[in-house]
Amino acid sequence: MAEEIISATNLISLLIQAQEEALELIKSGSKSSEELRLLILGAKSDIARLTKQIRLVSKEERQKVGPVVTQVKRSIEEALGQLPTRNVSKEWIDVTMSGIRPPQGHLHIVSQAIIEITRIFERIGFTRVRHPEVDWDWYAFESLNMPANHPARDEWETFFIESSLSFRPLSRNPSSRKTRIPGRAQDDNQHIVLTPHTSNGQVREMEKKNLPIRMINIAKCYRRQSDVSHVPMFHQFEGLYIDRSVSIGHLKGVLDYFVKQFFGPQRKSRIRPFHFQFTEPSFEVDITCGVCLGKGCKLCKSGWLELGGAGMVHPEVLKNGGIDPEKYSGFAFGWGIERTYMMKAGTQLDDIRLLYSNDIRFLEQF
Ligand code: FA5
């Protein structure tokens, strides 16, 4: 809508009127000079509003208004300058009065969950480690029994990055990498991915040659997915335990321990046969539903909710990490932090994307 043109005479008389009211207010001595300056000349004052209206006066008349604005502001400044300055030495301050608490933020729920999960595993001797979140295809796939073109890779809906860096892993198995990804650069050296899971840390940890291994690798993961239960960037925590004579019994013991610590003593876990290329046997881990505690309800249907994957580390993966599978064995598990957090009783999160919507009204509840 076009703005109405106003006359210079009208605007000048409004400015003079505002000036008179301001001088009256200054004279009344009811406020400090800082408060008066803000009230009379601040961005929301009448004078500021009227000054902005100069653009509504026709070009020919505009030059009449400018000097009036300058004069009005100068007279107000002078009046303010004549006010007595505060004598702080005579003011009485109660130093025992409680102050005004500034608004305080807190860690994001995911960061809180990362800290809690780290502490739980530290108590049974696991160490939090970090491995790259942008990594060679070798660590994310090939060393985990998923050579290029292997159909199992599809499940990881991966982001690839082109690079001209040269690939030199410590423990590369020379017999691997016989196949190529069609349509992509034919040079293996260029295959770098945004890690779709924290399992890339398995062979990297083995390469440290520091046995036994008790790692908990927590990192960001990336997949081309977005819906109520998927986000393109999420976090996983990956446990890896390698020692002599590690068995499924140890794995189940650690899972039960974690479930009771994180979700509470009433929750139980179970393992179900599954398939991953890098563990044999492989399992999916379920926990009893936090709403019905295993009886079966609208949310879980069967009484169980799926938590993530686990299994005994595949001998080929141990070999790729330079570990002799005849002497050592181990288990690994990898779960999403966001989904694990959503399974806590009382969280009542029905859309994972809410966690990353940056809505302060949602975040301050946790
Ligand atoms: C894996 O990523 C395996 N690396 C897990 C594993 C590790 C198995 C070690 C065996 C041994 P999966 O694709 O199922 O598995 O992902 C594991 C968990 O990550 C899922 O259960 C879910 O909690 C979480 N997750 C996966 N994709 C997403 C996503 N897009 N958004 C949020 N969470 C996700």
Q: Nearest C-alpha to atom 29 of ligand 1 is from which residue? A: 230
Here the tokens at position 70 are: 């300058």
Is 194 a member of any domain? yes
Query: Which atom of ligand 1 lies nearest, measured to the CA of 352?
Result: 32
Is 318 a member of any domain? yes
pLDDT at res. 290:
77
Is 76 a member of any domain? no
| Angle, CA 194 vertex, CA 188 and CA 199 arms, to 5° | 90
Place of tokens 């520091």: 210
Q: How far is the CA of 182 from the centre of ligand 1 (A)?
A: 26
CATH of the domain at 341: 3.30.930.10
- Domain assignment of residue 303, given as a range: 109-363
Model-level pTM? 0.72
d(CA 335, CA 338): 9
pLDDT at res. 86:
67
pLDDT in tens, 327-359: 999 999 999 999 898 888 667 777 889 899 988
Q: How far is the CA of 333 from the centre of ligand 1 (A)?
A: 9
Is 21 a member of any domain? no
Task: Write the CA distances from 301 to 184, 298, 342, integer angstroms.
Answer: 43, 6, 17
Calculate the CA 83 to chain-centre distance: 52
pLDDT at res. 345:
67
Q: How far is the CA of 361 from the centre of ligand 1 (A)?
A: 29
Place of tokens 């990336």: 222
Is 334 a member of any domain? yes
Is 223 a member of any domain? yes
Query: Which atom of ligand 1 lies nearest, measured to the CA of 236?
Result: 19
Q: How far is the CA of 156 from the centre of ligand 1 (A)?
A: 9
Q: Nearest C-alpha to atom 32 of ligand 1 is from which residue? A: 230
Q: Residue 192: phi, psi to the nearest 5?
A: -125, 140
Here the tokens at position 94 are: 């109660």
> Which stretches of the chain score pLDDT less than 70?
1-3, 86-88, 165-190, 299, 345-346
CB neighbour class for 91 (10 Å; exposed up to 12, middle 13-18, buried from 19): exposed
pLDDT at res. 97:
87
**Ligand 1, residues at Cβ distance < 6 Å:** 155, 197, 199, 223, 225, 230-231, 234, 236, 238, 276, 279, 308-311, 332-336, 338-339, 352
Q: How far is the CA of 141 from the centre of ligand 1 (A)?
A: 14
Is 2 a member of any domain? no
Which of these, 193, 79, 182, 91, lies nearest to 132 by C-alpha position?
193
Is 86 a member of any domain? no
Strand partners, 305: 287
Q: Max alpha carbon distance in the chain (Å)?
A: 98
d(CA 14, CA 306): 71
Q: How many domains does the chain have?
A: 1
Which of these, 360, 129, 357, 355, lies nearest to 234 by C-alpha position?
355
Q: How far is the CA of 236 from the centre of ligand 1 (A)?
A: 7
